[in-house]
Structure 1
Amino acid sequence: MDNKGKKIEINKISQVATFDPDLTIGEVDRLLSLEGFLSGYCPLEGIQLNLQTCALQRKPNLYFLKYGGMEDLCTGGVFKTKAGKRIVLKHVPRSAAGADLKRVFIGSAEHLGQFEELTLKIFSIPEFEAWGVVFFEHERESLKFIRAIYSQGLRPLFLKIANDAECSGVCRSLNLMRNYECGVVIKLSGLKGMVQAEKRMIEQYMNIIDIHWTSRSAESEILEETIVNGESLTQVLSKTEALFMGTDLKISVPEKKLIHFIEKALC
């Protein structure tokens, strides 16, 4: 498949795709959607960013809870160092390939070079999506709820702790007769049966005061527009840092000494 000279190759069996890094995230998802797939990646700064920028700057993924960060999505590619050396990142288990060089290059901010190709995991377009607004008396109960569902293996596509003002705004937008101090807005996606099972798991949590589920397109659009944004991810990460340790919430550029060492090793 080609998009104005930009390459994209999809392996439907392995569910990976190789992309020209100049493609924007919006272009990637548009092309994947034609084949029934999506990337599972939405950078905080918008889908107008290209893959090269997202990989080299290791942009956090708004949907990291379900799909992981760029370093989790990337399975390989071709990297060209500043010295002109082309390095093929093999698509094999790390245990068989030695050092995982992709984690060196992702987030290197062009200090080491640039990607010529990127191979990423892709995912089937979900059969079903559902939004939920889960109400609590206090914010601390919201945090306990998030930790509880995460520890049980539930991976929502997105969630946000809404304060009193945000709760009121959401309730007004959805015409809900509620007046609670705090709530968690959560989005589930996947096979319909799995989403229904996840909803039942959430409903069994002890300290929920009330809950509202919706799959209606109009209500979903309202929540998408008012709740899903970069501030949401920053807020979730800052309040649950210990819980989500090891995800892409902390972005760092290699120290100059490390960069020099790697450059020498790759020459």
Structure 2
Amino acid sequence: MLDTITTTLTREQIVVAYTEMLSPDRVLTDEQTLKENSVDRYYKVENVFGTYSLPLPAAVVKPVSKEEVAKILVFANEHRINVVPKTGGSATEGGLETVVENSIVVDGSLMNQILEINTTDMLATVQCGVGLEQLEDELRKIGFTTGHSPQSKPLAQFGGLVATRSIGQFSTLYGGIEDMLVGVETVFPNGEICRIKNVPRRAAGPDIRHLVLGNEGALNYITEVSVKIFRHYPQNNKFYGYLLDDINTGIEILRQVVTAGYRPSVARLYDQEDGLYHFKHFSDGRCVLIFVAEGPKGIADATGNAIEEIVATFPRPTASTVL
């Protein structure tokens, strides 16, 4: 988040300062916690074999409010302490790793309140540490969904989803997180708290949400997020699977479905190697093409019928299944 100028404070001074600022139980310094917070990829060699090659942070600090985040960042900014933002810890691309000594990890997972579910404006507002699955479970109870389902869904939290510009399995229909984000609250290194209003779009100047989206915490720390929600119609879902002899056929089927104007929620194509990895019990070395049509019954039926009609124009797609 900050530049990489080395802080003049010792590890001990950093820990003492943040312990005085927060409660001692929210400034973590035990060696195993520090090791686990020096890497971000599950099953990475460091975690598997217990050999850690990057500098361990001085502490993992866990704020419970935007005001505490502001205090943490102001102190870090004044003393040139490198900051690594974190929520669910499901990142797999090195965003939670640093070569800078005596960094701090700011873990927002305790900011975990669902603040509002508004089914009139079709918005949900949550703190950064709310889990995607946590919100999704609450929405499903009342017939709604976020429409967001990355592979990290059981672990991911909303601060990280926005900071990493997350995308999910249902993005053909619902879009990525950048299409779902409506408003966001963020804290800058100088402690300034900024709230980008919940409005659907902006016509005056650049959309400043895109300064927050995908910046991996390099510019600010996300504390609150407002996202679109959608009605959920699981009773209308249609599932299609096809085995294909070559990947080019699958690409052309996908192209025709999407360019015809249909939006299945899932449109995924696996080549022979991926097919064997994910579907070895039936793929038999062939490509696997999967569609899911969902939404109101008329839309799901129309999308499903179009998929079947387009696929039928190609030679030898096999093992079609509709559930």
Task: Please say whether Structure 1 and Structure 2 have the same fold, judged by a TM-score greater than 0.5.
Answer: yes
Match of 1:115 among 218, 222, 225: 222
Q: Determine the structure 2 residue equivalent to 1:75.
A: 182
Match of 2:265 among 125, 133, 157: 157
Return the offset for 1:147. 0.8
Deviation readout 1:111-131 (Å, 9 max, x if unpaired): 222122100000111241111
CA-atom RMSD in angstroms: 2.7
Q: Determine the structure 2 residue equivalent to 1:148.
A: 256
Deviation readout 1:14-52 (Å, 9 max, x if unpaired): 211111111011111011122221111122333211111
Match of 1:130 among 228, 232, 238: 238
Q: Which structure 1 residue ranges, 5 or more long, are not aligned?
A: 216-267
**Larger relative contact order (CA 8 Å, sep ≥ 6):** 1
Alignment partners' CA distance in 1, 2:226 and 2:206: 18
Question: How many pairs were matched up?
Answer: 209
Q: What does 1:222-261 align with in structure 2 at a 5 Å threshold?
A: none
Match of 1:198 among 296, 299, 303: 303
Residues 1:184 and 2:292 aligned together: no
Gap change, CA 1:143 and 1:4, over 3 Å in 2: closer
Please identify, of 132-141 and 119-128, the stretch whose mean Cα deviation from structure 2 is larger. 132-141
SS of the aligned residue for 2:237 comes to strand
Gap change, CA 1:6 and 1:209, over 3 Å in 2: same
Return the offset for 1:167. 7.5
Alignment partners' CA distance in 2, 1:98 and 1:143: 38
TM-score under structure 1 length normalisation: 0.69
Q: Determine the structure 2 residue equivalent to 1:54.
A: 161
Alignment partners' CA distance in 2, 1:146 and 1:21: 35
Return the offset for 1:88. 1.6
Q: Determine the structure 2 residue equivalent to 1:12.
A: 119
Please identify, of 117-126 and 50-59, the stretch whose mean Cα deviation from structure 2 is larger. 50-59
Q: Determine the structure 1 residue equivalent to 2:173.
A: 66
Contact 2:182 2:200 in 1 (8 A): no
Alignment partners' CA distance in 2, 1:135 and 1:32: 34
Contact 1:81 1:112 in 2 (8 A): yes
Over the matched positions of the two proteins, sequence identity in percent amounts to 21
Match of 2:145 among 38, 41, 46: 38
SS of the aligned residue for 2:223 comes to strand
Letter in 2 for 1:52: G
Contact 2:165 2:213 in 1 (8 A): yes
Alignment partners' CA distance in 1, 2:289 and 2:112: 44
SS of the aligned residue for 1:46 comes to coil
Return the offset for 1:98. 3.1
Alignment partners' CA distance in 1, 2:157 and 2:112: 15
Moved over 4 A (4+): 167-173
Alignment partners' CA distance in 2, 1:168 and 1:51: 30
TM-score under structure 2 length normalisation: 0.58
Q: Which structure 2 residue ranges, 5 or more long, are not aligned?
A: 1-109
